[in-house]
Amino acid sequence: MDSIPANRRLWNRISGAYQRRHDPRIGAEPRLWGMYSLPDARLRALGDVTGKRVLELGCGAGQWSRSLAAEGAHVVGVDLSEAQLDAAVRARGADRYWLVQGAAERLPFAADSFDLVFCDFGGLSWAPPHLAVPQAARVLRRGGRLVFNVASPWFEACYDEAAGGVTTTLRQDYFGLGAVAEGDGAASYQLTYGDWVRVLRGAGLVIDDLIEPRPDPGTPNGYNRTEPTDWAHRWPAELLWVTHKP
């Protein structure tokens, strides 16, 4: 399924409202992961990036890219949406990094170009993983790492479309996860645990860790309603994969 044109249209359309609502929280501090803004200092997924060649897949307004550039990484942010890239340009400030328009499905970079490829609900949530993961692996050097955060199958299976939030009732078939329709042909993507393992290993990557970010009770979800409010303290809402190319 080619969701590139529809996802580009979707993100161009919602970029302004999305950034007005979420940018203050995403960019509040450097290195905040996911729906609950958990600090990387606590999750320890990314490590030192000083002097490293880093690619953010689906960088949005570049909150992460900006932070890593400020730490001394050579960062490229790639995104499908020109509206999101415009937002990144406006927010770029003194910490320079490169911005490129492109799709995670067909990355416009040579093989072995990066030491670290990463994203937080970016290209690996919005491009078919069986296409995007091999692309990420291709542009990594040997020993380079692919680290990314996505929604968990638990979260997706318990998402109640009508109520607009997550509950304790299973709504979607676990084995039916795949392309999640986001309207007008746009799609996000969700795999089962087994399919993630097969896609990552199939691209030649070694899985070093699967971090399941666990917010403390009372930590707000910046994006979705959950019932109960401490849902993500009790069940994993996100999967933070840590892999490398041997």
Task: Report how far apart, in Å, the C-alpha atoms of 216 and of each of 48, 213, 235 are.
Answer: 25, 10, 12
CB 191 within 8 A of CB 241: no
Q: Should residue 147 be labelled a site residue for ligand SAM when binding is judged by CB under 6 A?
A: no
Residues facing 189 on adjacent strands: 179
Question: 């680290």: which residue's tokens?
Answer: 147
Q: Should residue 26 be labelled a site residue for ligand SAM when binding is judged by CB under 6 A?
A: yes
Residue ranges in 57-96 that form contacts with ligand SAM under rule CB under 6 A: 58, 60, 64, 79-81, 84
Describe the strand order of the beta sheet including 98-101 as a list of residue ranges: 98-101, 74-79, 53-57, 114-120, 140-151, 238-244, 206-211
**Dihedral angle sign, alpha carbons of residues 13, 23, 155, 205:** positive
d(CA 26, CA 67): 11
* Binding span for ligand SAM by CB under 6 A among 41-49, 66-74, 120-128, 195-203: 120-128
Q: Should residue 121 be labelled a site residue for ligand SAM when binding is judged by CB under 6 A?
A: yes
Q: Should residue 7 be labelled a site residue for ligand SAM when binding is judged by CB under 6 A?
A: yes
* Binding span for ligand SAM by CB under 6 A among 117-125, 140-148, 192-200, 227-235: 117-125
Task: Name the minimum Å distance from CB 55 to ligand SAM.
Answer: 11
Which residue among 115, 120, 156, 238 contacts ligand SAM (CB under 6 A)?
Answer: 120
Which residue among 36, 114, 118, 126 contacts ligand SAM (CB under 6 A)?
Answer: 126
Residues of this chain that interact with ligand SAM (CB under 6 A) are 4, 7, 11, 26, 58, 60, 64, 79-81, 84, 103-105, 120-123, 126-127
